[in-house]
């Protein structure tokens, strides 16, 4: 029932809060290992989150894990999405990250922290799934609840960008959208974040 009511019970990315104010937090995220898939949403029934099922099969969230061991890998949160209209690819410690250009979208699951290197992660059976290492990163992060529609996200990102720049931070890439709850969580109880990479 915790999932319906927004309780987050899975592993979340390791990070240190460097600064906190009413408008945002500045966080430094630890290095991580991610599983990613790049796809054109139009080839997956127009679903911008279509890569989720491919990655969920890799970790074994939907039955037998589709990896060489086969080893079930714990799901983590949040799900991270990057709008297909954005061109610069940036990843973050999270189980799912989506980045993209005009057509191709890249979605990532950040693997549990026990996987310290690419070699320690189980090898995917699906050749579309790629395992890679991500270095530490620094983000300005603003949290909000409800449904993360494109319009809401765009407004939140612009507000965050203005706040960061007002306070002297340099934004160095495109935003990420972090969604911590599954789609069946009641909308007012959902936890979402917009994240902008900073120097």
Q: Mean of the pLDDT values across residues 27-51? A: 86
The per-residue pLDDT for 95 is 44
Q: Mean of the pLDDT values across residues 169-193? A: 89
Cα–Cα separations (whole angstroms), residue 71 to 36, 137, 165 = 17, 28, 44
Residue 183: which residues within 8 A CB-CB, separation 6 or more? none
Residues in the chain: 199
Look at 104 and 122; give whichever has higher pLDDT.
122
> pTM of the predicted model, to two decimals?
0.80
Tens of pLDDT along 81-97? 765 544 333 344 444 55
Q: Which of 28-32, 77-81, 184-188 has the highest mean pLDDT?
A: 28-32
Cis peptide bond upstream of 100, omega within 30: no
Query: Which backbone phi and psi does 148 adopt, to 5 degrees?
Result: -85, 75
- What is the rounded CA–CA span in Å between residue 86 and residue 193? 18
Strand partners of residue 105: 39, 100
Write down the H helix ranges in 81-144.
none
State percent of the chain over pLDDT 70.
86
Count Cα atoms within 13 angstroms, Cβ side, for 62. Answer: 8
């Amino acid at each position: 029932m915790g999932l319906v009511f927004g309780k987050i019970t899975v592993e979340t990315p390791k990070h240190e809060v460097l600064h906190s104010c009413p408008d945002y937090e500045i966080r430094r995220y630890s290095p991580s290992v991610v599983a990613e898939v790049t796809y054109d949403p139009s080839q997956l029934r127009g679903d911008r989150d279509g890569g989720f099922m491919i990655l969920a099969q890799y970790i074994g969230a939907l039955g037998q894990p589709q990896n060489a061991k086969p080893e079930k890998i714990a799901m983590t949160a949040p799900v991270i999405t990057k709008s297909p209209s954005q061109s610069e690819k940036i990843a973050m410690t999270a189980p799912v990250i989506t980045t993209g250009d005009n057509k191709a979208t890249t979605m990532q699951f950040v693997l549990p922290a026990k996987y310290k290197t690419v070699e320690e992660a189980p090898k995917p059976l699906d050749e579309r799934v790629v395992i890679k290492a991500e270095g530490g990163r620094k983000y300005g992060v603003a949290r909000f609840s409800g449904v993360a529609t494109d319009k809401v996200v765009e407004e939140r990102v612009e507000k965050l960008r203005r706040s960061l720049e007002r306070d002297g931070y340099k934004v160095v890439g495109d935003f990420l959208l972090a969604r911590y709850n599954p789609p069946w969580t009641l909308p007012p109880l959902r936890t979402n974040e917009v994240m902008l990479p900073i120097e």
